[in-house]
């Protein structure tokens, strides 16, 4: 076995004996102890189980072990894609993950979607702690577990800023630390280099040994970049390597998109030569230095008391473009945030999977009927047709309709299989549009053979028409349970002439009007109205679909207001006290009532 950094546990007939949804189970104190010991060795644990989330959480909470699991995925969903999501969210490699399940088909499915994943049945548990791969390192303070718990924490709501975007950035008190001691952060730097695209200016990938060689090369100036502001710590978000006044690597995480950090670092280095590969979300500016960023000296992290707290959470999921990840740090403190955003496939193409025509087809039947066709489509993969967006585990579902506003639709032969791709102003079945796709970088180029096959098998339908959009919205809103809060983000109507896209703002007005009319009487649906937050071109970043950092903050503020209007209290208070109240109501006597009153009044 390769070194294990994460153990993914099945529950029924693996972690415990029996099936929770069918009756009493026999809880395993042995496996309970294994989880605690693995955690003390710096090996974290999570759950992938087909079960009811609340029932599992209540049982494991009763046993005092729930807080030892991070990023648990408990839903009636196939495990292959869920495990892939866990691994990606935790920024690990599949070969350093062990999945334990009593069902052979679950193990095979998991390996199919996660090449290199280590799998085993419950029989491995008898001697698991004796295996060399599970020795880990001494972490009795549970610091590694705490690091992953911090990833799930949110920053509390802040005052709305009515100033310009630059003034907002100045008020954010952004600080940057540049640290040349790269050796100890080799793993995180490797993740940035190999997994980041939007702000990866060279897009040169490295193997671990190549990175180690680069770090040890005294002729190369290199450093990693850590970013903080008054809302939180973004961690290590950037890396550069410079030799003879030329940048070999210049890469930043999209979590700091629109903060200006990449331009600030570029000017600090004296604007060296750089061969930019492919498209980037933010162009580098030679004529202006961001004046809202300050540099601080690298410091060792302060030691804090490592404790586990029982934290009940409001569960939120968002589906849309990856730019929406920027709202994460501004959402209600104590909430748990999951995201389904566009991603880069194994073939190197960005997969856009948020269109309602895709959501309608997220099912095993679609993969059974059209799986072979999907495999032939270079800019799609099977994962695009899988989702946890409708899971009952979430209290709040947030959805952006911008893909419905932009994408062109293509119908496969005479079937009902329809997929979105590109902009509806360009027809991929029209040979006059092929030159654009063939002139792109090699990694993103569509070869003539595929284009011919696509032309012969698909019909271009153009943009999603308003009547189909209305029907899809009704289906989507009805699919989200009435007991949930469904928040929809619409499109900007600013006349964005720097990148007009055929006067796309006019199309946005038409689609927004349909959206307004469709959801006006739906009590569980709230509108996060982008139109009220974008007043000029300066509120956007490079096109009408992306916004300034200030606007993302205001979007989060509006989402927080909708959540609080729905539940009457903040997500942290709601989720903590609903369980506490249920518990205290079972108690009798003055002491129990006093505890409840103190908790409700003072939050203690």
In terms of domains, do 555 and 476 share one? Answer: yes
Q: Report the alpha-carbon distance of residue 452 to residue 121 in Å, rounded.
A: 46
In terms of domains, do 483 and 589 share one? Answer: no
In terms of domains, do 147 and 182 share one? Answer: no
* pLDDT tens figures, 224-247: 999 888 766 778 999 999 998 899
Beta 97-100 vs 293-295: how paired, if at all?
Answer: unpaired
Q: Report the alpha-carbon distance of residue 459 to residue 323 in Å, rounded.
A: 30
Q: Report the alpha-carbon distance of residue 258 to residue 543 in Å, rounded.
A: 13
In terms of domains, do 457 and 524 share one? Answer: yes
Q: In terms of pTM, does the model score above 0.85?
A: no
> Which of 295, 325, 349 lies at the terminal end of a domain, its last residue?
295
Residue 310 lies in a domain: no
Backbone Cα Rg of the chain:
25
- Two structure tokens written together for 420: 């979105």
In terms of domains, do 585 and 509 share one? Answer: no
Q: How many structural domains comprise the chain?
A: 4
Beta bridge partners, 459, equal 411
Contact partners, residue 335, CB within 8 Å, separation at least 6: 154, 313, 314, 315, 316, 396, 571, 572
Contact partners, residue 40, CB within 8 Å, separation at least 6: 138, 139, 140, 142
Closest among 242, 285, 228 to 262, alpha carbons compared: 285
Residue 461 lies in a domain: yes
* pLDDT tens figures, 367-407: 989 999 999 998 899 999 999 999 888 999 999 999 999 99
What range defines the domain where residue 83 resides?
6-151
| pLDDT > 80? residue 50 | yes
Residue 156 lies in a domain: no
Q: How would residue 520 be classed by pLDDT, with cut points 50, 70 and 90?
A: confident
- Residue that wins the pLDDT comparison between 140 and 317: 317
Q: How would residue 294 be classed by pLDDT, with cut points 50, 70 and 90?
A: very high
* pLDDT tens figures, 422-459: 999 999 999 988 876 666 655 557 888 999 999 999 99
> Which of 120, 151, 182 lies at the terminal end of a domain, its last residue?
151
- Residue that wins the pLDDT comparison between 129 and 184: 129
In terms of domains, do 545 and 521 share one? Answer: yes
In terms of domains, do 78 and 179 share one? Answer: no
> Which of 246, 262, 295 lies at the terminal end of a domain, its last residue?
295
In terms of domains, do 206 and 143 share one? Answer: no
In terms of domains, do 331 and 257 share one? Answer: no
Q: Report the alpha-carbon distance of residue 238 to residue 221 in Å, rounded.
A: 14
In terms of domains, do 286 and 381 share one? Answer: no
| pLDDT > 60? residue 343 | yes
**Alpha-helical regions (H) of 464-567:** 466-479, 504-519, 549-567
Beta bridge partners, 420, equal 409
* pLDDT tens figures, 590-602: 565 555 555 444 4
DSSP secondary structure code for residue 331 in this structure? S
Residue 307 lies in a domain: no
Residue 339 lies in a domain: yes
Note the Cα 443 to chain centre separation in Å: 24
Cβ(360)–Cβ(349) below 8 Å: no
Q: DSSP string of 162-226?
A: -S-HHHHHHHTTEEEEEE---GGGHHHHHHHHHH--TEESS-----HHHHHHHHH-TTSEEEEEE
Residue 63 lies in a domain: yes
pLDDT over 70 percentage in the chain: 86
In terms of domains, do 381 and 483 share one? Answer: yes
CATH assignment at residue 17: 3.40.50.1000
| pLDDT > 60? residue 157 | no
Residue 58 lies in a domain: yes
pLDDT over 90 percentage in the chain: 54
In terms of domains, do 248 and 340 share one? Answer: no
Cβ(531)–Cβ(490) below 8 Å: yes
DSSP helix/strand/coil, 282: coil
* pLDDT tens figures, 245-282: 899 999 998 777 778 999 999 998 989 999 999 888 88
Q: What is the pLDDT of residue 168?
A: 72
Residue 308 lies in a domain: no
């Amino acid at each position: 076995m390769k070194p294990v950094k994460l153990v993914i546990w099945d529950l029924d007939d693996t972690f415990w004996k029996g099936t929770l949804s069918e009756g009493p189970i026999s809880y395993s104190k042995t496996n309970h102890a294994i989880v605690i010991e693995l955690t003390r060795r710096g090996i974290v644990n999570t759950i992938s189980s087909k079960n009811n989330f609340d029932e599992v959480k209540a049982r494991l909470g009763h046993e005092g072990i729930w807080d030892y699991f991070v990023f648990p995925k408990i839903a009636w969903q196939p495990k292959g894609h869920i495990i892939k999501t866990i691994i990606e969210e935790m920024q690990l490699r599949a070969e350093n993950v062990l999945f334990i399940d009593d069902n052979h088909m679950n193990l095979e499915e998991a390996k199919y979607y996660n090449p290199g994943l280590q799998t085993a049945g419950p029989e491995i548990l008898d001697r698991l702690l004796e295996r060399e791969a599970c020795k880990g390192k001494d972490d009795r303070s549970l610091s590694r577990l705490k690091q992953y718990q911090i990833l799930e924490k949110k920053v509390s709501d802040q005052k709305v800023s009515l100033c310009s975007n630059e003034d907002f950035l100045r008020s954010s008190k952004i600080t940057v630390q540049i640290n040349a001691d790269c050796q100890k952060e080799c793993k995180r730097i490797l993740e940035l280099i190999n997994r980041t695209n939007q702000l990866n200016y060279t897009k040169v990938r490295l193997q671990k040994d190549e990175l180690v060689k680069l770090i040890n090369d005294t002729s190369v100036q290199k450093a990693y970049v850590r970013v903080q502001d008054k809302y939180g710590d973004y961690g290590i978000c950037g890396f550069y390597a410079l030799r003879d006044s030329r940048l070999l690597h210049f890469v930043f995480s999209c979590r700091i998109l629109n903060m200006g950090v990449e331009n600030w670092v570029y000017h600090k280095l004296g604007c060296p030569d750089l061969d930019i590969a492919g498209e980037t979300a933010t162009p580098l500016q030679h004529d202006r230095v961001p004046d809202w960023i300050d540099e601080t000296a690298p410091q060792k992290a302060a030691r804090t008391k490592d404790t586990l707290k029982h934290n009940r959470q409001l569960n939120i999921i968002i589906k849309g473009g990856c730019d929406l990840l920027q709202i994460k740090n501004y959402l209600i403190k104590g909430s748990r945030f999951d995201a389904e955003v566009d991603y880069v496939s194994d073939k190197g193409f960005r997969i856009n999977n948020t269109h309602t025509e895709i959501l309608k087809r997220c099912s095993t039947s679609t993969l059974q009927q059209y799986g072979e066709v999907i495999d032939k489509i270079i800019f799609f993969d099977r994962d695009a047709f899988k989702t946890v967006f409708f899971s009952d585990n979430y209290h709040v579902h947030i959805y952006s309709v911008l893909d419905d506003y932009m994408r062109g639709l293509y119908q496969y032969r005479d079937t009902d299989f329809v997929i979105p791709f590109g902009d509806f102003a360009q027809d991929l079945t029209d040979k006059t549009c092929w030159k654009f796709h063939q002139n792109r970088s090699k990694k993103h180029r569509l070869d003539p053979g595929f284009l011919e096959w696509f032309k012969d098998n698909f019909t271009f339908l153009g943009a999603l028409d308003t009547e189909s959009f209305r029907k899809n919205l009704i289906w989507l809103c009805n699919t989200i349970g009435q007991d949930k809060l469904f928040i929809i983000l619409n499109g900007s109507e600013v006349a964005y002439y720097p990148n007009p896209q055929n006067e796309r703002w006019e199309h946005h007005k038409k689609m927004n009007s349909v959206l307004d009319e469709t959801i006006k009487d739906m009590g569980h649906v709230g509108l996060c109205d982008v139109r009220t937050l974008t007043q000029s071109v300066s509120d956007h970043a490079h096109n009408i679909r992306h916004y300034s950092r200030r606007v993302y903050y205001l979007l989060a503020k509006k989402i927080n207001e909708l959540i609080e209007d729905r539940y009457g209290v903040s997500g942290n208070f709601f989720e903590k006290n609903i369980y506490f109240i249920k518990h205290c109501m079972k108690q009798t006597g003055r002491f129990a009532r006093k505890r409840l009153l103190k908790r409700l009044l003072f939050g203690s």
